[in-house]
Every structure is written in structure tokens, then in C-alpha cells.
Structure 1
Amino acid sequence: MSKAKSAVNRSPFWVILISTCVLALVLFGIIRTTGYVEGEEFSPTHFRSRKFTFYEIPLIHLQITPIRRTTTTPLTALMLTQKNWIKQPDLEPSTWHLVSLQRGNEDPVDDDAALLMKQLRLHRDGAPFWKTWSTDHPEMAQPFWQTIGTLSQRELYLVMPRLFEIVGPLDDPDTLKTMISDYLQTEYTSLIRDMRAAGRDELADALAKEAASDVDSPN
């Protein structure tokens, strides 16, 4: 066989090889820039938070690398569990609520749990605000954080911002308990009404039971 014929016969192989390499590089670049996923999640039972990252195939959201996790638990949350104001189960966390998620170059999107994480990370005058407040008001901190813990497990993060606003200026434990109870009773009533109007009677019944057991005694 002549050299010319050999070169012709080999050329499809090199074309395929080069095309494959180019395609692989293009796919790698796309995945590297738009397939990176980063987020944070929060355990309502243990008051821990963690960051997670992985790569996926864009558009179809097919995960292609293992998930890497790193702890992000704020100092305020650590103090709450150390003081046993948030009672942690003996088992490792099995429930995690999404805090935020970012895919590729898209803007990060916050979920409801971000409302609590914002407060746990709140700093004023260079110090964690709610850690300082809790240390200065231990007799109020315990019932308050136990209420927050209960609401977290119910995924009722949407009622928390106003609750933090109400509690912050208070100095009297009895006033705190009364105001928490009154506020949450109003919120539960509104939520139950909305759920029934939407035809979600099962969820409305569950909220009614929670209201009866949790709102009146934020101990």
C-alpha cells in the first residue's frame, strides 16, 4: 500500500480523535463555568448549617461529582446548643432545610431558612447580636429560642423576622412570653385560614394542632 493511501486511511482516525478532544474540552469548559452548584442547608433539629458543592451537567441537572460539605454553623447557633436551649437529638441530623442555592453564574436564590440564618449571623458593633442578647437575657433566651426551634422544625421561617423584631427590645420575661404567644396565635390563625381557603384542609388541621400545643406555652 502506498504512503498516500496509508495517510488517507489514517486521516479519519485523526479527525475523530481531534474532534473528540475538542468536544471534550468544550464540554469541560461548559461544565466548569455553568455546572458548578453551591448551596447551604440548615438542620432544624440540631441547629447546624453546612455548605455543599458539586458539579452537574447543566440544563438536565445531572450530578456528576460527589457532594463536598463543610460546616458553616454560626457562633450563635453553637452557643444555643451548648447551653441546651436547643436540645439536640442523639442521632446525627437527618432533616436539612435549604438555605440558599446557586447554579453556575446565576444569582444565588435564598429559601425560607435563610430568614433564620440571617438572624443567627447578625452582627452589631463587631459581635454576634443574638449571642450577646442571649447571654445578657438568659431568662428570656431559653423560652425564645425553644420557640424558634419549634418553628424551625415546622418550617415556619416566614413568621420569624417579625418575631425577632418584637423580642429584641424586651427586658421582661413575662412580657416576652405574652407577646410571643399573642403574635404566633395571630399568625397561626391567618395561616390556617389561608390553607382552608386553598382547600388544604389537612395542612390546616396540622397547623391547628401545632398552634394548640406550641403557641400557648413557649417554655
Structure 2
Amino acid sequence: MGYVQGEEFAPSHFRTRTFSFYEIPLIHWQITPIQRKSTTPSTAVLLRQKKWVSPPSGEPRVWHLVSLRRGLEQSNDDDAALLVSQLRLQVDGSAVWRKWSQDHPDLAGVLWPAIAKLADRELYILMPRLLEMARRIDSVPYLQSTISGYLADEYDALIRDMRAAGQNDLADSLAAEAAEDAQESPPTVDSPS
């Protein structure tokens, strides 16, 4: 009782770490120091080494919760688990996204910066579909166009949903991000035959 453990992800550095501590149950007052251990998947290490994601210098300042477990409760996943599970995804003992990135370095140079930007913005919910689409594309211009179109559509939907929910500040923030992305986007390319 009172044991808390979890994992967190630093979107700026593509690093993960576990943490654990003891707390007084029910009131959740921490009574021991936090113990941390690096658990960064090999795929994330490769992405940094190849500069497909470019961490700033220094230590991460922001960590997003991946999972949390208190005592004997079941572990609860948070949004960042959508990305971290993909970074750890293995088939036949091989890290899927590590292999894909090594086999498709030009595509990886387009996909992972987009994923890093979404992680930084805490838009993990948009990643599974984007990753699924990327696996089927073998043209850099088409991948760029697909990412731009997908994100534009998803931002529009999120902005409408936030406005309908009365979350106008969040909708304005999303609109600003979408406008920034639109300025950076390449022209649309039709699907290769």
C-alpha cells in the first residue's frame, strides 16, 4: 500500500523514464524521494542519433505521463502511451519503427519531425492514424502531402469540437498551431500510381 510507480516521456528529447515513490494512501502525500530510471526505447535513441528528432541542449524540462499505478490498482495509461507503445512495438523480436526508419531514412526524416511536433503539443491522439498511413507510403512528397492534409483536417475537427465545448482559448491555440503548420506545408501531391 502506498507504492506509486509510473513512466513519463520527454517530448523535447524523446526520452522515457520510470519513477517510483511511496505516499500516504488516500490523501496522496508523498513520503519518500522519487526514484527514476531511464527506459528510453532503442527506436527513440536511433531517432535522436540520426537527427530525425532534434532535442535541445540540456535536460528535458517537460515530461508527459505515460502510465501510473498506485498500490495494487491496475496501471492507467495516459495519452503519451500512444507514442511510447509504438516506439517499443516489436514483431519477431525486431523493433518495428526502428527497422522502418532504417529502411526508409528519407521518409523517416519527414515522419518523425511531424510526430515530435505533435508530441510537444500533447496531440498524441493524432499519432496512431498518422503512423498507420506512413507505413503504406513510399514517396517523400506524397508522405509530406499526406501529413499536411491529415493534420489540417484533424486540426479543423479539434477546433470545431473545442468551440462547441466552449473551450475558445484552446480552440484559438489550436488554430494558431494549424496556421503555423499551414505556412510550413509543401504543396499537395496526388497519390502515386
Residues 181 and 217 in structure 1, CA contact (< 8 A), matched pair in contact too: no
Q: Report matched runs for 1:33-52 at 5 Å.
A: 34-52=1-19
Aligned to 2:114: 147
In structure 2, the CA distance between the partners of 1:124 and 1:139, relative to structure 1 (3 Å rule), is: same
- Quote the offset at 1:215 in angstroms: 5.0
1:78 counterpart residue number:
45
- SS of the equivalent of 1:54 reads strand
* Aligned residue in 2 for 1:19: none
Whether 1:130 and 2:97 are equivalent positions in the alignment is yes
Residue 101 of structure 1 and its aligned partner are, at CA, apart by 0.1
Tell me how far apart the structure 2 counterparts of residues 172 and 109 of structure 1 sit (CA, whole Å). Answer: 38
3-state DSSP of counterpart to 1:51:
strand
Residue 178 of structure 1 aligns with which residue?
Answer: 145
**Identity rate, percent:** 57
Q: How far apart are the structure 1 equivalents of 2:169 and 2:48?
A: 33
Structure 2 CA distance for aligned equivalents of residues 69 and 198 of structure 1: 38
Separation in structure 1 between the aligned mates of residue 65 and residue 123 of structure 2, nearest angstrom: 13
Question: Match of 2:20, SS?
Answer: strand
Letter in 1 for 2:58: L
Amino acid at match of 1:129: V
Aligned to 1:193: 160
Give the RMSD, CA atoms, in angstroms: 1.2
| 1:20 alignment partner in structure 2 | none
1:57 aligns with 2:24: yes
* Residue segments in structure 2 that go unaligned for 5+ positions in a row: 187-193
Secondary structure of the equivalent of 1:159? helix
Deviations 1:55-97 (A, max 9, x none): 0010000111100000000000000111111111112101000
**Does 2:169 match 1:210?**
no
CA gap 1:111/1:83 in 2 versus in 1, 3 angstroms: same
Change in Cα spacing, 1:215 to 1:69, as seen in structure 2 (3 Å) is farther
**TM-fit CA distance, 1:126:** 1.4
Instruction: Write the distance in 1 (CA, Å) between the matches of 2:56 and 2:151.
Output: 25
AA at the equivalent of 1:52: F
- Structure 1: gaps spanning 5 or more residues: 1-33
Taking the aligned partners of 1:73 and 1:106, their CA distance within structure 2 comes to 25
TM-score normalized by the length of structure 2: 0.93
Larger radius of gyration: 1
The DSSP-based 3-state class of the residue aligned with 1:69 is strand
Which amino acid letter does the alignment assign opposite residue 90 of structure 1? S
- Judging by fraction of residues, say which structure has more helix: 1
Aligned residue in 1 for 2:189: none
